[in-house]
Amino acid sequence: MPPRPRTTAQPSRSSSFQHRPSHRRLVTAASDLLCTPGVEEGLDVIAVPAARDAGNLRHAAEVAAEAGSVLLVLCSKDADPGEAYDVVTGGSAPPAVVVLGVPHGYSLPGLQLEADRSSLVARRTSDTHLKRNLAIAVAHRMGWSRLLFLDDDVRGFGNKELDLVRAVLADRPAGPKAVGWAFDDFPDNSIVCHAHRLAGGPQKTFIGGGALAIRVSDDTPHFPRMYNEDWLFMLPLMLRGRRELVLAGTMQQMEYDPFASPEDADRQEAGDVLAEALFSLLHDDTPWEEAWSQQYWRDVLTSRRRFIQRIKAALSRRSDAGAARACAALDRALLMGHTSTSWPGALAKWVQSWERDTEVWSRWLAGLTPAVSIEQAVDEFGLDLDAYVTPAELVGAGASSAG
């Protein structure tokens, strides 16, 4: 991570922010990776932050069975733990299954993250960040060092992808810490970026947390409570160097209607602004201190507002219902942060809080003691396994079903 922020914001030196249709040049592509030989090990655990109907878990169960890895399912909202257990243990079941119910309002014991209490996330309802952080914590306590996040709407993850994970995350000095896939089919973008594409603008996708494999260690980043939490998880890796994060290729996810809930634009706008603007600093080799400046965020918000207004103007010239629904969502995005005088200060403060949080998280993660069983690991996180674990003798402290 960059140095700790100053206590007072410094004046912005530039206002070069602009929307970029692609960020892929910021990371190493798997095809460009020249790795020294390493010791390939099995994938220890596949973690699924589930919120949909349990029937969507079948693909992840098949991948875990093929990989010979533990399947860790973290259920909330529409994902019932009992139904999830029945689904993933039917058919070709993984060698070990752990299903946890994550109750509403749950937080990791002893962990207080300042940015997660920001006014910018007051309308945030997703708990995906929490379930991913919990998965990292469980894996760390159990000695599972290679973790694959696989969302329950991902499809097409097979042997080729598993082989690539093993190769990229092989045990070698200074090897990559993460490898992931971008979702082009169906595109994984924010509402604003979907509208940009609909209006005819060039728009690509970036690596998403839906298919992301990581090496778990004390310096593994955390997922903040913010839209684009996966980009913000990857940003510390990118700041450490281009070879820390590898783009493996593209992946498929289930199709959805990006404009079905225009109010989602309210919840996305802060995270979309943060991620796009922070990535822009990397594109331009701009000093990180810019992100501590309220003036930088004023410039960003001015540019972002004009960008959204141009998209809306292009869509307004069309008469189809899809364009009208996109415009309604864009109006929500414009109202959310672009009429408030407090956002430049809130965005600058969020970055400073997030930087401190990375240190808090690292200390907390490093302080976790090895668990002798999954029951102990889960119990000390204040959760109940109920009967949703198999086999009963599943233990940790370095022991992995993947070998």
| Half-sphere exposure in the Cβ direction for 93 (13 Å, CA) | 15
pLDDT tens digits, one per residue of 21-30: 999 999 999 8
Number of neighbouring beta carbons within 10 Å of residue 112: 11
Q: Checking phi first, is residue 123 left (phi over 0); if not, alpha (psi -120 to 50) or beta?
A: alpha
| Backbone phi and psi for residue 266, each to the nearest 5 degrees, phi listed first | -60, -45
Q: Quick one: pLDDT band at residue 394, thresholds 50, 70, 90?
A: low
Residue 149 predicted with pLDDT over 80: yes
| Separation of alpha carbons 138 and 220, rounded Å | 13
Residue 12 predicted with pLDDT over 70: no
CA angle 247, 248, 249 (to 5 degrees): 100
Q: Is 99 exposed, middle or buried (0-12, 13-18, 19+ CB in 10 A)?
A: buried
| Separation of alpha carbons 35 and 172, rounded Å | 9
- Of 53, 54, 52, 50, the C-alpha closest to 75 is 50
| Backbone phi and psi for residue 58, each to the nearest 5 degrees, phi listed first | -60, -40
* Averaged pLDDT, 393-401: 47
Alpha carbon distances (Å) from 402 to 44, 47, 303: 5, 14, 49
Q: Specify whether the CB–CB gap between 226 and 129 falls below 8 A.
A: yes
Q: Specify whether the CB–CB gap between 84 and 73 falls below 8 A.
A: yes
- State the Cα torsion 329-330-331-336 to the nearest 10°: 90
| The pLDDT of residue 204 | 94
pLDDT tens digits, one per residue of 263-304: 999 999 999 999 999 999 999 999 999 999 999 999 999 999
| Separation of alpha carbons 292 and 3, rounded Å | 11
Domains of the chain with CATH codes: 24-257+358-390 (3.90.550.10)
pLDDT tens digits, one per residue of 131-143: 999 999 999 999 9
pLDDT tens digits, one per residue of 335-368: 887 777 899 999 999 999 999 999 999 999 999 9
Q: Specify whether the CB–CB gap between 166 and 402 falls below 8 A.
A: no
| Backbone phi and psi for residue 151, each to the nearest 5 degrees, phi listed first | -70, 160
Q: Which has the minimum average pLDDT: 20-29, 134-143, 186-195, 383-392?
A: 383-392
| The pLDDT of residue 398 | 41
List, in sequence order, every residue forming a beta bridge with 344; answer none if it has no partner.
none
| Separation of alpha carbons 283 and 110, rounded Å | 36
Q: Quick one: pLDDT band at residue 401, thresholds 50, 70, 90?
A: very low
| Separation of alpha carbons 341 and 343, rounded Å | 6
Q: Is 184 in a helix, a strand, or coil?
A: strand
Q: Specify whether the CB–CB gap between 50 and 76 falls below 8 A.
A: yes
Q: Quick one: pLDDT band at residue 10, thresholds 50, 70, 90?
A: very low
Tell me 187's DSSP state.
B
Amino acid at 396: G
pLDDT tens digits, one per residue of 208-221: 999 999 999 999 99
Q: Quick one: pLDDT band at residue 389, thresholds 50, 70, 90?
A: confident
